[in-house]
Amino acid sequence: MNISVRAEADLNLVAHHDLANAVRFLAVDAIEKSQSGHPGLPMGMADVATVLFSRFLRFDAAHPTWPDRDRFVLSAGHGSMLLYALLHLSGGDVSLDDIRSFRQWGSKTPGHPEYGHTPGVETTTGPLGQGIATAVGMALAERMANARHGNELVDHFTYVIAGDGCLMEGISQEAISLAGHLQLGRLIVLFDDNGISIDGPTSLATSDNQLKRFAASGWSVRYVDGHDHEAIAQAIAEERATDRPSLIACRTVIGYGAPERQGTEKAHGAPLGPDQAAAARRNLGWEYQPFVVPIPVSKAWRMIGQRGQLARLAWLDRYERLDPAQRERFDQDQAVTIPCAYERAAGKLRERLATERPKLATRQASQLVLDAIASTLPGLIGGSADLTHSNLTQSKTQHPVRPGEFAGDYIHYGIREHGMAAAMNGIALHGGFIPYGGTFLAFSDYSRPAIRLAALMRLRVIHVMTHDSIGLGEDGPTHQPVEHLAALRVIPNLLVFRPADAVETLEAWDCALRSIDRPSVLCLSRQGLPTFRSDARGKNRVARGAYLVVTPDGGRDVTLIATGSEVSIALEAARLLATEHIRAAVVSAPCFALFEEQPDEYRAHVLGSAPRVGIEAAVLGDWARWIGSDGEFVGMRGFGASAPASVLYREFNITPQTIAAAARRSIAREAKRT
């Protein structure tokens, strides 16, 4: 008897009610033992999740990362025990000990699902709305990969469980609008429509008709009783056949089965307590001790987890029968490695820039980089939040993705910075692509929650953020990002680059593309900057985070450390100081995070022992790490203003003369101490 027949035989012996109760009470028991967690969603959505996993979701519990699996995203991440129970029961790498250790140190079952920590978790969720928005990126990546490789290799669905909180968060509107516009027909959202939030009934804060809202964005929508398993199955089956993204509003009872908690906010975010847990067992006919799943139910769930073996093996067979060239192309796309063609194109551009030494805005230099390399990296997927011609993020060889047409490699995200950032995470998580997207640096606050999650998940996504300082000029303080560099630099595992010329811009792109386990932000100027680098074939100096641009003969009296557009001002200040016989070293520091990772000896060599002056058209932030407690800082003390860039730099005292004066003060203080 083959796996499929055995699975159906075992499943037919077990009622849906028992399969769902196994999920419910593993969640209840883990939360009771932990004395922490959210039982309401697992109890309320167990019927929906059981139907999805047992009848529709194509997965192989023993191989949770095979490429053509369906993706399942628990956007309402506070209900994490629903997912952990499903993974454990279906035979995934989540043991009963892990379930017993819910929310404890070292367990695979943290409070909210974490990608890379728990096998089978497709994305980190918890901040509401992030899951559904990330899933839009996954569904988009599936369609783009399908356009490249065909149905034989790429043909899967993305399913989401989302709650009221996910749909209240503003990012959800950006996500559903983009998904509807692009006609992502293989995206199905199962809405836990229980009408309860932490404060009480959702009617306290919202009166939205979610079905009409989604329908207005081009989705297929329907309502279903979330505790009627046959109705749920029929709804999912029919929505799988649509050519639009789908919302199935599942009317459920939060904390289903707990007589004094169900249907109220009391079931949301706290253990039921022993009395209510016992009452729920009696109410639902689950007369087993905590953490006990009867053998027939356990066996049926294991068969559910094994059924996907046939689909995976069939996929492997199709893969093996491919033309070798097609198979190699698929493998290369999955690996998203840096090919030799990229190395040649980047090297040729570097020689050109170092030889010609153009005066360019670094956003223009970035476009030159993209024009040179985009065609050599088939998995590079660009985009912008309606600022393509300001961010300069579309190369000459890239073509737009359009509704129902997914063979392109450039995405017009619209004015949806937060949704764009989350979708980029989903594209990276899906695999096969390196996503990048553009906006203004001042708008990074709109993207920040998704950037933080990318850093937490260790994803290679690249944010191109232009207009990086007061140098954008007349648009004024609303668009001048004085505090944003400091805010981004404190996010762990995030590379923030602020290149100072065209060569550094190329090197920053190279670093970002090679950083396979962390996201990057490229902060690029609007105003033209002179190219000071002339080393046509040298090593990537940006990769060390900071380096000496000028090393005076005979030692140094002061070290000027600058980033981005201020490096050229620091070089002018050094020349000014030289006329006074003051020896000033100049350091370009395009990436603090990479510099911090360098050996102590290298950092000491670059920074030197002389007094230091930091220069950046931004607030102080964490500059004290590099200039020391006695160092001087030339930068911003408040917001910018509306005026031409040259006037702003003069009025805010970011000039060679101001830097030279700061250097003199530093040297004088040092002389007094010694």
516 and 418 fall within a common domain? yes
> Which CATH number fits the domain that encloses residue 629?
3.40.50.920
Q: 556 and 651, same structural domain?
A: yes
Interval 308-345: pLDDT, tens:
999 999 999 999 999 999 999 999 899 888 999 999 99
DSSP-assigned beta bridge partners for residue 159: 72, 188
Residue 334 lies in a domain: no
Classify the phi-psi angles of 593: left when phi > 0, otherwise alpha if psi is within -120 to 50, otherwise beta: alpha
Considering the domain boundaries, does residue 637 fall inside one? Answer: yes
Question: Could you tell me if 526 and 546 lie in one domain?
Answer: no
Number of domain units in the chain:
3
Give pLDDT, residue 2.
Answer: 47
Cβ 184 vs Cβ 141: under 8 Å: no
The range of the structural domain enclosing residue 398 comes to 340-530
Determine the Cα–Cα distance for residues 316 and 321; give it in Å rounded to an integer: 9
The DSSP 8-state label assigned to residue 359 in this structure reads E
**Active-site residue identified among 32, 169, 239, 417:** 417
* 90 lies in some domain: yes
Tens of pLDDT, residue by residue over 435-472, are: 999 999 999 999 999 999 999 999 999 999 999 999 99
Measured in residues, the chain has a length of 674
Buried b (16+ CB within 10 A) or exposed e, 393-432: bbbeebeebeeeebebbbbbbbebbbbbbbbbbbbbbbbb
Per the domain annotation, does 335 fall within a domain? no
The pLDDT score that the predictor gives to residue 9 is 54
pLDDT at 673: 83
Instruction: Determine the Cα–Cα distance for residues 671 and 667; give it in Å rounded to an integer.
Output: 6
C-alpha span between 545 and 588 (Å, rounded): 8
Q: How many CB atoms lie within 10 A of CB 497?
A: 28
* Predicted pLDDT at 1: 37
CA nearest neighbour of 657 among 625, 613, 627, 609: 613
- Which residues of the chain are modeled with pLDDT < 70? 1-10
525 and 552 inside one domain = no
- Are 344 and 308 contained in the same domain? no
The reply to whether 525 and 550 lie within a common domain is: no
Same domain, 526 and 549: no
- 647 contact partners, CB below 8 Å, separation of at least 6: none
Which of 532, 533, 548 minimizes the C-alpha distance to 603? 548
Do 522 and 551 belong to one domain? no
549 and 584 in a common domain: yes
Same domain? 291 vs 194: yes
Catalytic residue flag (residue 417): yes
For residue 329, tell me if it sits in a domain.
Answer: no
d(CA 183, CA 160): 16
Residue 523 lies in a domain: yes
* Residue 550 β-bridge partners: 586
Any domain includes 333 = no
| Domain identity same for 375 and 468 | yes
Contact by Cβ (8 Å): 414, 177: yes
- The CATH number for 24's domain is 3.40.50.970
Q: Phi and psi (nearest 5°) for 549? A: -95, -40
300/386 same-domain check: no
pLDDT of residue 382: 98
Task: Give one DSSP letter per residue of 34-47, joined into a string.
Answer: HT-S--HHHHHHHH
Q: Return the closest-CA partner of residue 132 out of 179, 100, 97, 92.
A: 179
DSSP assignment string, 4-24: HHHHHHHHHTS-HHHHHHHHH
- 529 φ/ψ angles, rounded to the nearest 5 degrees: -130, 135
Task: Supply 280's token pair.
Answer: 């729920």
Instruction: Among 499, 530, 561, identify where a domain stops.
Output: 530
Query: Within 13 A of 661's CA, how many CA atoms are on the CB side?
Result: 7
> What are residue 272's phi and psi, to 5 degrees?
-65, -30
Model pTM score: 0.97
- Assign 583 to helix, strand or coil: coil
For 473-506, the pLDDT digits (tens) are 999 999 999 999 999 999 999 999 999 999 999 9
Residue 330: inside a domain: no
